[in-house]
Amino acid sequence: MALTALGIDTLLPAFDDVRAEFGLASDATQVAGLVTAFIVGLGLGQLPAGILADRYGRRAVLWGGLAVYVVGAAAAALAPSLGLMIAARFLWGLGAAGPRVAVMAMVRDAYSGAAMAKQMSSIMSIFLIVPMLAPALGAGLLAIGPWQLTIWLCVVVAGLIFVASLYLPPTQPVTDREPLSVRGMWSDWRTVLSTPGTFGWIAATVVMTGSFMSYIASSENIIDEVFGLKRWFVLTFAAVALVMAFATATNGRLVESVGLRRILVVVACGQVATTATLCTVVLATGGTPPFALFLPILISVLMCQQVLMVNINSAAMMPLGHVAGSAAALIGAAPQVFGALIGSRIDAAFNGTVTPLAIAFVVGSVLSGLAIRQALGVTAPKVVEPVVATAA
List domains and CATH numbers for the chain: 2-171+179-384 (1.20.1250.20)
Contact 135, 239 (CB under 8 A): no
The count of C-alpha atoms lying within 13 angstroms of the C-alpha of 263, restricted to the half-sphere facing its C-beta, is: 31
pTM over 0.85: no
Q: With DSSP H G I counted as helix, E B as strand and the rest as coil, what are the percentages for the chain, rounded to 5?
A: 85, 0, 15
For every residue of 207-250, DSSP letters joined together read: HHHHHHHHHHHHHHHIIIIIT--GGGHHHHHHHHHHHHHHHHHH
Residue 292 burial (CB count, 10 A): 7
Which residue type, as a one-letter code, is found at position 238? A
Task: Please name the residues in contact with 227: beta carbons below 8 A apart, sequence gap of 6 or more.
Answer: 288, 291, 294
Instruction: Please return the burial class of 286, using the count of CB atoms within 10 Å of its CB with bins 0-12, 13-18 and 19+.
Output: exposed
- The pLDDT tens digits along the chain (392 residues) read 888 888 888 888 888 888 888 888 777 778 878 888 898 888 888 888 888 888 888 888 999 999 999 999 999 999 998 889 999 999 999 999 999 888 888 888 887 767 777 787 778 777 777 766 777 788 888 889 898 999 999 999 999 999 998 888 877 766 666 666 677 778 877 888 888 888 899 999 999 988 888 887 788 788 888 888 888 877 887 788 788 888 888 887 787 778 888 889 999 999 999 999 999 999 999 989 999 999 999 999 999 998 898 888 888 887 777 777 778 788 877 887 788 788 878 887 888 889 999 999 999 999 999 999 999 887 655 555 544 443 33
